[in-house]
């Protein structure tokens, strides 16, 4: 009982007490009107006047006893409706029996039984309506006002599924569609109108106070997505989402999570990559595959995508036990579902004894060698570490693969291996040369795949920029003319698989990375994607080239040239530099000798001696 007398509950109780008294009186009066066709005889007006206070008191008392005035009517449901009906039903039964037992003695003192019955239904309707009115207001009228007003770009099948899901989700208010098909303009999809074309967005957005936009055309090119993005951003829309590309779109958009925030990958000017999945499937299916550097950004994506091609066994080799543990947890359900044997191994590729033992025991058939140091400026200060991992580590793994009879060894290389100006680039170039040389010694086919920056990888500028934006800026770009090739990690990995499947041994494959992108433009786009304005909300400053960096990364040296393969995005570099296996052994010995004393000058001298076009001053 004490709960009722809290201040907020006192107000609520007084409100409903007052409203109930009025509604019970109104209901009783309406019952007389309906019973006598809206003309109440004078004798029954007296009966109404006599009985009205008693009936109102009886109903109020019943409601109080049943605890109806304790209910929070914001959450009224079927149980509360039943409680109201029960209370009014009890009152009606009491009045019925009272009238039946007493009206013969005083016939003109009691109202007709029909009035009591009519009063029950009118009271139930009025009382329930008042109670449910608050919920209707909060959950339908007010909630709709608070829902995120959304425009859907694309009124096709995907747009239809999106609007259906948005309405079911209950957090969004789809306001209108736009679509470039003139036949759709003026129509409605699930009561949401198609108001115009994409070019009409600025005016339509302004007139309809939209807060969020969903791009629901999975077949759009990156160029068109960028155009729409610019239209939306320039009109002040900061919350922009997009459906997955047509190759990744689920057959049914069954959950709002299928729609993702627009990302930098969606804005890149890149043509879609065609992959021959059958060739890759034939190459990888039912094979025992080992991936080095399996915890890294490239290595982990290789592992993820290998699962889709149904290998017999996957061995994930990684020195970082935390990343390897996280990868194992992430993939556990998928691996179990696919029936693939998964074996994580903590090991250092520079440990020749352990690597030989692993290869001898496991006998993998295919190797994807992704383990490497890749942070360019850091390796300038620690060239001995880059040499130990990128050169000697590669040599150890490649030799172990050769001796254990591995079918194919795929070395993941980089565009920084071309005309290298950095330690990292020079070591990766020598790793390519090692693989080509060892290709002559046995049945193992060694190939290298060279590509540029992948979005989101360790060492990529994007995570760095995002962290700087998160802190409020400034975003630091080394040079206003700095350009890089970019590719998404999944796209790069699929092309690696494609190149690996077609490789005959000894090739250095070069992936077509599309057009190079200015880093400053990339920074500006990332700032806009966070709903901010470059140079106003977040500043961009230029810091100068870092050690080992150059303005532009080439995929081919001038003397190399390429040969076209049957895949439009994959080329073969015409590599002229080739050392014999004995020469490679000599180079490794020289490097190991210099590593004993960590003689950095000597290490760099050896790299310059054996790595074509390595010039630390060529930026």
**Hey, which residues are catalytic here?**
416
- The HSE-up count of residue 493 (CA atoms within 13 Å, CB side) is 24
Degrees, nearest 5: CA angle 608-611-617: 50
Helix (H) or strand (E) holding 177: strand 172-178
Q: Is 353 exposed, middle or buried (0-12, 13-18, 19+ CB in 10 A)?
A: exposed
Q: Is 77 exposed, middle or buried (0-12, 13-18, 19+ CB in 10 A)?
A: exposed
Q: Are 470 and 535 in contact (CB under 8 A)?
A: no
Helix (H) or strand (E) holding 194: strand 192-196
Torsion angle in degrees (nearest 10) through CA of 461, 463, 466, 471: -110
What are the φ/ψ torsions at residue 616 (nearest 5 degrees)? Answer: -70, -15
Distance (Å, rounded) from C-alpha 80 to C-alpha 82?
A: 5
Tell me the CA distances in angstroms from 183 to 197, 255, 358, one per residue in order: 11, 29, 64
What are the φ/ψ torsions at residue 18 (nearest 5 degrees)? Answer: -65, -50
Degrees, nearest 5: CA angle 330-334-336: 110
- Residue 270: name the closest of 511, 509, 503, 471 by CA: 511
- Residue 570: name the closest of 346, 169, 286, 273 by CA: 273
DSSP conformation class of 92: H
What are the tokens at 305?
């995508």
**DSSP of 531-566, one letter per residue?**
T--BTTTB-EEE--PPTT--SB--SS-TTT-EEE-S
What are the tokens at 61?
């008392």
Residue 537, Cα to own-chain centre: how many angstroms?
Answer: 25
SS3 106: coil
Q: Is 245 exposed, middle or buried (0-12, 13-18, 19+ CB in 10 A)?
A: middle
- Residue 226: name the closest of 194, 263, 259, 279 by CA: 263
């Amino acid at each position: 009982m004490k709960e009722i007398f809290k201040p907020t509950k006192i107000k609520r109780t007084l409100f409903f007490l007052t409203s109930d008294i009025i509604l019970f009186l109104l209901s009783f009066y309406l019952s007389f009107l309906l019973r006598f066709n809206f003309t109440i005889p004078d004798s029954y007006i007296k009966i109404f006047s006599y009985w009205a206070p008693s009936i109102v008191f009886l109903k109020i008392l019943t409601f109080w006893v049943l605890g109806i005035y304790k209910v929070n009517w914001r959450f009224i449901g079927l149980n509360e409706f039943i409680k109201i009906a029960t209370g009014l039903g009890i009152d009606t039964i009491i009045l019925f029996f009272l009238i039946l037992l007493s009206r013969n003695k005083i016939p003109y003192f009691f109202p007709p039984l029909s009035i009591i019955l009519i009063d029950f239904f009118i009271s139930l309707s009025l009382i329930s309506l008042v109670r449910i009115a608050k919920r209707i207001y909060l959950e339908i009228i007010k909630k709709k006002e608070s829902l995120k007003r959304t425009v859907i770009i694309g009124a096709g099948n995907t747009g239809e599924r999106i609007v259906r899901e948005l309405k079911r989700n209950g957090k969004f208010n789809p306001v209108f569609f736009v679509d470039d098909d003139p036949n759709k303009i003026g129509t409605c999809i699930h009561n949401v109108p198609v108001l115009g074309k994409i070019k009409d967005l600025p005016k339509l957005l302004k007139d309809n106070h939209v807060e969020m936009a969903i791009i629901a055309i999975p077949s759009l090119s990156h160029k068109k997505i960028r155009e729409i993005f610019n239209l939306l951003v320039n009109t002040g829309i900061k919350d922009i989402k997009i459906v997955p590309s047509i190759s990744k779109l689920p057959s049914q958009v069954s959950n709002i999570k299928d729609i993702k925030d627009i990302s930098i990958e969606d804005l890149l000017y890149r043509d879609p990559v065609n992959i021959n999945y059958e060739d890759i499937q034939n190459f990888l299916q039912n094979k025992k595959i080992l991936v080095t550097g399996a915890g890294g950004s490239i290595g982990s994506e290789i592992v993820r995508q290998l699962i889709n091609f149904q290998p017999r066994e996957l061995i994930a080799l990684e020195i970082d036990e935390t990343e390897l543990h996280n990868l194992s947890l992430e993939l556990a359900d998928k691996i179990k579902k696919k029936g693939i044997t998964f074996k994580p191994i903590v090991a250092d590729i520079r440990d020749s004894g352990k690597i030989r033992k692993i290869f001898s025991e496991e006998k993998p058939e295919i190797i994807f060698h992704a383990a490497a140091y890749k942070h360019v400026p850091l390796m300038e200060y620690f060239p001995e570490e880059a040499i130990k991992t990128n050169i000697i580590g590669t040599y150890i793994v490649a030799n172990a693969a050769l001796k254990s009879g591995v079918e194919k060894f795929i070395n993941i290389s980089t565009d920084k291996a071309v005309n290298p100006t950095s330690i990292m680039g020079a070591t990766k170039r020598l790793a390519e040369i090692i693989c080509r040389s060892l290709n002559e010694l046995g049945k193992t086919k060694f190939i290298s795949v060279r590509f540029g920056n992948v979005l989101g990888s360790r060492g990529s500028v994007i995570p760095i920029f995002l962290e700087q934006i998160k802190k409020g800026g400034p975003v630091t770009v080394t040079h206003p003319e700095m350009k890089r090739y970019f590719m998404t990690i999944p796209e790069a990995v699929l092309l690696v698989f494609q190149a690996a499947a077609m490789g005959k041994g000894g090739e250095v494959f070069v992936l077509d990375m599309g057009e190079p992108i200015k880093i400053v433009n990339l920074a500006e786009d990332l700032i806009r994607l966070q709903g901010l304005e470059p140079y106003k909300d977040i500043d961009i400053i230029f810091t100068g080239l870092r050690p080992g960096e150059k303005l532009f990364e080439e995929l081919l040296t001038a003397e190399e040239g390429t040969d076209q393969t049957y895949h439009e995005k994959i080329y073969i570099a015409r590599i002229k530099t080739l050392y014999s296996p004995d020469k490679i052994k000599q180079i490794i010995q020289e490097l190991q000798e210099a590593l004993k004393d960590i003689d950095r000058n000597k290490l760099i001298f050896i790299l310059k001696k054996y790595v074509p076009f390595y010039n630390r001053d060529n930026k």
